[in-house]
Amino acid sequence: MAIARRTLRHAAHGRGAHPLPIPRQPAPRVALSTQLTPAAVERRWQLLSVSQEGREALLDTPTLDALGQFRGSIENCIGALEVPVGLAGPLRVEGAHAHGDYYLPLATTEAALVASYSRGAQLISEAGGCTALVLAEGIGRSPGFAFASLREAARFAEWTLSQRLVFNACVAATTSHGRLKEMRAIIEGNHVYLHLDFLTGDAAGQNMVTLATEAICAHILAKAPVQPDYWFLEANYSGDKKASARSFVGVRGRRVSAEVTIPADLVRRRLRTTPERMADYFRMGALGGVLSGTLGTQGHYANGLAALYLATGQDVACVAESAVGVTRMEVNAAGDLYAAVTLPSIIVGTVGGGTGLSGQRACLELMGLAGPRPAAALAEVCAGLCLAGELSLIGALCAGHFASAHRKLARATRHDSKVQEGGGNA
Amino acid sequence: MAIARRTLRHAAHGRGAHPLPIPRQPAPRVALSTQLTPAAVERRWQLLSVSQEGREALLDTPTLDALGQFRGSIENCIGALEVPVGLAGPLRVEGAHAHGDYYLPLATTEAALVASYSRGAQLISEAGGCTALVLAEGIGRSPGFAFASLREAARFAEWTLSQRLVFNACVAATTSHGRLKEMRAIIEGNHVYLHLDFLTGDAAGQNMVTLATEAICAHILAKAPVQPDYWFLEANYSGDKKASARSFVGVRGRRVSAEVTIPADLVRRRLRTTPERMADYFRMGALGGVLSGTLGTQGHYANGLAALYLATGQDVACVAESAVGVTRMEVNAAGDLYAAVTLPSIIVGTVGGGTGLSGQRACLELMGLAGPRPAAALAEVCAGLCLAGELSLIGALCAGHFASAHRKLARATRHDSKVQEGGGNA
Amino acid sequence: MAIARRTLRHAAHGRGAHPLPIPRQPAPRVALSTQLTPAAVERRWQLLSVSQEGREALLDTPTLDALGQFRGSIENCIGALEVPVGLAGPLRVEGAHAHGDYYLPLATTEAALVASYSRGAQLISEAGGCTALVLAEGIGRSPGFAFASLREAARFAEWTLSQRLVFNACVAATTSHGRLKEMRAIIEGNHVYLHLDFLTGDAAGQNMVTLATEAICAHILAKAPVQPDYWFLEANYSGDKKASARSFVGVRGRRVSAEVTIPADLVRRRLRTTPERMADYFRMGALGGVLSGTLGTQGHYANGLAALYLATGQDVACVAESAVGVTRMEVNAAGDLYAAVTLPSIIVGTVGGGTGLSGQRACLELMGLAGPRPAAALAEVCAGLCLAGELSLIGALCAGHFASAHRKLARATRHDSKVQEGGGNA
Amino acid sequence: MAIARRTLRHAAHGRGAHPLPIPRQPAPRVALSTQLTPAAVERRWQLLSVSQEGREALLDTPTLDALGQFRGSIENCIGALEVPVGLAGPLRVEGAHAHGDYYLPLATTEAALVASYSRGAQLISEAGGCTALVLAEGIGRSPGFAFASLREAARFAEWTLSQRLVFNACVAATTSHGRLKEMRAIIEGNHVYLHLDFLTGDAAGQNMVTLATEAICAHILAKAPVQPDYWFLEANYSGDKKASARSFVGVRGRRVSAEVTIPADLVRRRLRTTPERMADYFRMGALGGVLSGTLGTQGHYANGLAALYLATGQDVACVAESAVGVTRMEVNAAGDLYAAVTLPSIIVGTVGGGTGLSGQRACLELMGLAGPRPAAALAEVCAGLCLAGELSLIGALCAGHFASAHRKLARATRHDSKVQEGGGNA
- pLDDT of residue B421 exceeding 90: no
Amino acid at residue number C202: D
Q: Are A304 and A391 in contact (CB under 8 A)?
A: no
- pLDDT of residue B417 exceeding 60: no
- pLDDT of residue A327 exceeding 90: yes
Q: Give me the total of CB pairs closer than 8 Å, taking one residue from chain B and one from chain C.
A: 83
- pLDDT of residue C133 exceeding 50: yes
Active-site residue among D195, D300, D401, D406? D406
Q: Which has more pLDDT, A206 or A415?
A: A206
Q: Are A169 and A223 in contact (CB under 8 A)?
A: no
Taking the CA of residue D63 and the nearest CA in chain B, the distance in Å comes to 45
pLDDT of residue C168: 98
With CA atoms as reference, report the closest residue to B97 among B70, B125, B135: B135
Active-site residue among D94, D99, D110, D280? D110
List the subunits that have 3+ CB pairs under 8 angstroms with D.
Answer: A, B, C
Q: Which has more pLDDT, B404 or D111?
A: D111
pLDDT of residue A265: 98
- Helix (H) / strand (E) containing C167: helix C164-174
pLDDT digits (tens, 9 = 90+) for B323-367: 999 999 999 999 999 999 999 999 999 999 999 999 999 999 999
What is the band of D1 on the pLDDT scale with cuts at 50, 70, 90? very low
Chain A partners within 8 Å of B286 (Cβ): 236
What is the band of D407 on the pLDDT scale with cuts at 50, 70, 90? low
Q: Is the alpha carbon torsion for C277, C279, C281, C284 positive or negative? A: negative
pLDDT of residue B309: 98
Q: Give me the total of CB pairs closer than 8 Å, taking one residue from chain A and one from chain D.
A: 83
Taking the CA of residue B281 and the nearest CA in chain C, the distance in Å comes to 12
List the subunits that have 3+ CB pairs under 8 angstroms with B.
Answer: A, C, D
Task: Please give the full DSSP string across D361-423, using - where no structure is assigned.
Answer: HHHHHHTT--TTS-HHHHHHHHHHHHHHHHHHHHHHHHHT-HHHHHHHHHTHHHH--B-S---
Q: What number is the average pLDDT over the span D8-37?
A: 82
Q: Is the alpha carbon torsion for D173, D179, D182, D183 positive or negative? A: negative
Catalytic residues of A: 110, 315, 406
Q: Which has more pLDDT, B400 or C84?
A: C84
Taking the CA of residue D285 and the nearest CA in chain A, the distance in Å comes to 12
Cα–Cα distance for residue pair B43/B50, rounded to 1 Å: 14
Cα–Cα distance for residue pair D249/D193, rounded to 1 Å: 18
What is the band of A1 on the pLDDT scale with cuts at 50, 70, 90? very low
Closest by Cβ to B293, choosing from C12, C295, C330 = C295
What is the band of B272 on the pLDDT scale with cuts at 50, 70, 90? very high
Chain A partners within 8 Å of D158 (Cβ): 5, 8-9, 11-13
> Around Cβ C394, how many Cβ atoms within 10 Å?
30
Interface test with D, best of A6, A151, A158 (most D CBs within 10 A): A158
Closest by Cβ to B245, choosing from C248, C289, C293 = C293
Ranking B321-330, C287-296, D22-31 by mean pLDDT, the lowest is D22-31
Q: Return the SS3 of B290.
A: helix
Chain D partners within 8 Å of C60 (Cβ): 62
Q: Which has more pLDDT, B394 or C3?
A: B394
pLDDT digits (tens, 9 = 90+) for B68-83: 999 999 999 999 999 9
pLDDT of residue B405: 65
What is the band of B170 on the pLDDT scale with cuts at 50, 70, 90? very high
List the subunits that have 3+ CB pairs under 8 angstroms with A.
Answer: B, C, D
Query: Mapped to the 3 state alphabet, what secondary structure does A129-194 carry?
Result: CEEEEEEEEEEEECCEEECCCHHHHHHHHHHHHCCHHHHHHHHHHHCCCCEEEEEEEEEECCEEEE
Interface of B with C (CB under 8 A): 5, 8-9, 11-13, 15, 151, 154-155, 157-158, 161-162, 185, 245, 248-249, 283, 286-287, 289-293, 295-297, 326, 328, 330
pLDDT digits (tens, 9 = 90+) for B183-241: 999 999 999 999 999 999 999 999 999 999 999 999 999 999 999 999 999 999 999 99
pLDDT of residue C18: 72
pLDDT of residue B197: 98
Cα–Cα distance for residue pair D213/D160, rounded to 1 Å: 13
pLDDT digits (tens, 9 = 90+) for A199-247: 999 999 999 999 999 999 999 999 999 999 999 999 999 999 999 999 9
pLDDT of residue A406: 62
Q: Are B403 and A233 in contact (CB under 8 A)?
A: yes
Chain D partners within 8 Å of C146 (Cβ): 280, 284
- pLDDT of residue B415 exceeding 50: no
Q: What number is the average pLDDT over the span D95-105?
A: 97
Q: Are C299 and C285 in contact (CB under 8 A)?
A: yes
Q: What number is the average pLDDT over the span A173-185?
A: 96
Cα–Cα distance for residue pair B375/C62, rounded to 1 Å: 74
Active site residue D406: yes
> Around Cβ D266, how many Cβ atoms within 10 Å?
18
Q: What number is the average pLDDT over the span C187-198?
A: 98
Q: What number is the average pLDDT over the span C41-70?
A: 95
Interface test with A, best of C1, C230, C249, C261 (most A CBs within 10 A): C249
Q: What number is the average pLDDT over the span A359-387?
A: 96
What is the band of D75 on the pLDDT scale with cuts at 50, 70, 90? very high
- Helix (H) / strand (E) containing B216: helix B206-223
CB contact under 8 A, A84 and B73: yes
pLDDT of residue B257: 98
Q: Are B352 and B372 in contact (CB under 8 A)?
A: no
Q: Which has more pLDDT, C195 or D425?
A: C195
Q: Are B57 and A92 in contact (CB under 8 A)?
A: no
Taking the CA of residue D184 and the nearest CA in chain B, the distance in Å comes to 10
Q: Are C344 and C325 in contact (CB under 8 A)?
A: yes
pLDDT of residue A417: 41
pLDDT of residue D419: 42
Active-site residue among C152, C240, C315, C336? C315
CB contact under 8 A, B12 and C158: yes
CB contact under 8 A, A293 and D248: yes
Q: What number is the average pLDDT over the span C245-274?
A: 98
What is the band of D242 on the pLDDT scale with cuts at 50, 70, 90? very high
Cα–Cα distance for residue pair A197/A179, rounded to 1 Å: 9
Query: Model-level pTM?
Result: 0.95
CB contact under 8 A, A12 and D292: no
- pLDDT of residue C318 exceeding 90: yes
What is the band of B412 on the pLDDT scale with cuts at 50, 70, 90? low
Q: Give me the total of CB pairs closer than 8 Å, taking one residue from chain B and one from chain D.
A: 78
With CA atoms as reference, report the closest residue to C40 among D419, D270, D410: D419
Task: Please give the full DSSP string across D118-159, using - where no structure is assigned.
Answer: HHHHHHHHHTT-EEEEEEEEEEEE--EEE-S-HHHHHHHHHH
Amino acid at residue number A398: C
Interface test with A, best of D13, D246, D276, D287 (most A CBs within 10 A): D287
Closest by Cβ to D259, choosing from B133, B150, B249 = B150
CB contact under 8 A, A28 and B90: yes
- Which class for C400: exposed (0-12), middle (13-18), buried (19 or more C-beta within 10 A)? middle
Task: Identify any residues that bridge with A130 across adjacent strands, giving them in sequence order.
Answer: A93
Taking the CA of residue C263 and the nearest CA in chain D, the distance in Å comes to 17
With CA atoms as reference, report the closest residue to C194 among C208, C209, C204, C173: C209
Interface of C with A (CB under 8 A): 1, 131, 133, 135, 149-151, 154, 187-191, 245-246, 248-250, 257-259, 293, 326, 328, 338, 340-342
Q: Are C81 and D307 in contact (CB under 8 A)?
A: no
Q: Enumerate residues 6+ apart whose C-beta is below 8 A from C73.
A: C354, C357, D84, D108, D109, D110, D111
Q: Are C84 and D70 in contact (CB under 8 A)?
A: yes
pLDDT of residue D13: 76
What is the band of B23 on the pLDDT scale with cuts at 50, 70, 90? confident
Q: What number is the average pLDDT over the span A251-268?
A: 98
Q: What number is the average pLDDT over the span A334-352?
A: 98
CB contact under 8 A, C35 and D1: no
Average pLDDT, chain D: 92
- Which class for B421: exposed (0-12), middle (13-18), buried (19 or more C-beta within 10 A)? middle
Cα–Cα distance for residue pair A240/A236, rounded to 1 Å: 8
pLDDT of residue D417: 41
With CA atoms as reference, report the closest residue to D156 among D240, D90, D221, D247: D221
Catalytic residues of B: 110, 315, 406
Q: Are B376 and B97 in contact (CB under 8 A)?
A: yes
Q: Crossing angle, helix D375-399 and helix D402-410, to 10 degrees?
A: 110
- pLDDT of residue D413 exceeding 70: no
What is the band of C14 on the pLDDT scale with cuts at 50, 70, 90? low
With CA atoms as reference, report the closest residue to D80 among A34, C105, B192: C105
Amino acid at residue number A198: F
Nearest-CA residue of chain D relative to A8? Answer: D158
Torsion of CA B215, B218, B222, B224, to 10 degrees: 80
Closest by Cβ to A291, choosing from D13, D291, D326 = D326
Q: Is the alpha carbon torsion for D132, D136, D139, D143 positive or negative? A: negative
pLDDT digits (tens, 9 = 90+) for D265-295: 999 999 999 999 999 999 999 999 999 999 9
Cα–Cα distance for residue pair D270/A88, rounded to 1 Å: 52
CB contact under 8 A, B353 and A134: no
Average pLDDT, chain C: 92
Q: Are C118 and C85 in contact (CB under 8 A)?
A: no
Taking the CA of residue A227 and the nearest CA in chain B, the distance in Å comes to 16
> Around Cβ D55, how many Cβ atoms within 10 Å?
17
Taking the CA of residue B347 and the nearest CA in chain C, the distance in Å comes to 19
Closest by Cβ to D330, choosing from A5, A283, A326 = A283
pLDDT of residue A300: 96
Q: Are A351 and A331 in contact (CB under 8 A)?
A: no
pLDDT of residue B148: 97
Closest by Cβ to A397, choosing from B22, B233, B418 = B233
> Around Cβ C78, how many Cβ atoms within 10 Å?
29
Q: How far is CA D137 from CA B48, B223, B364, D134, D205, in A?
A: 60, 29, 46, 8, 12
- Helix (H) / strand (E) containing D40: helix D38-46
Q: Which has more pLDDT, D7 or C68?
A: C68
pLDDT digits (tens, 9 = 90+) for D335-345: 999 999 999 99
Q: Return the SS3 of A341.
A: strand
Chain A partners within 8 Å of D151 (Cβ): 11-12, 15
Interface test with C, best of B158, B255, B257, B338 (most C CBs within 10 A): B158
Q: How far is CA A6 from CA B382, C346, D157, in A?
A: 21, 47, 12
Q: Are B284 and A144 in contact (CB under 8 A)?
A: yes
With CA atoms as reference, report the closest residue to A199 among A188, A211, A209: A209
Cα–Cα distance for residue pair B390/B368, rounded to 1 Å: 24
Q: What number is the average pLDDT over the span B248-266?
A: 98
CB contact under 8 A, D154 and A291: no
With CA atoms as reference, report the closest residue to C3 among D173, B150, D134: D134
Closest by Cβ to D249, choosing from A11, A161, A293 = A293
List the subunits that have 3+ CB pairs under 8 angstroms with C.
Answer: A, B, D
Nearest-CA residue of chain D relative to C40? Answer: D418
What is the band of A302 on the pLDDT scale with cuts at 50, 70, 90? very high
Task: Please give the full DSSP string across A3-30, using - where no structure is assigned.
Answer: HHHHHHHHHHHGGGG--SPPPSSPPPPP
Q: Return the SS3 of D219.
A: helix
Amino acid at residue number C206: Q
pLDDT of residue B3: 54
Cα–Cα distance for residue pair C265/C145, rounded to 1 Å: 59
> Around Cβ D37, how many Cβ atoms within 10 Å?
14
- pLDDT of residue B2 exceeding 60: no
Average pLDDT, chain B: 92
Q: Are A300 and B204 in contact (CB under 8 A)?
A: no
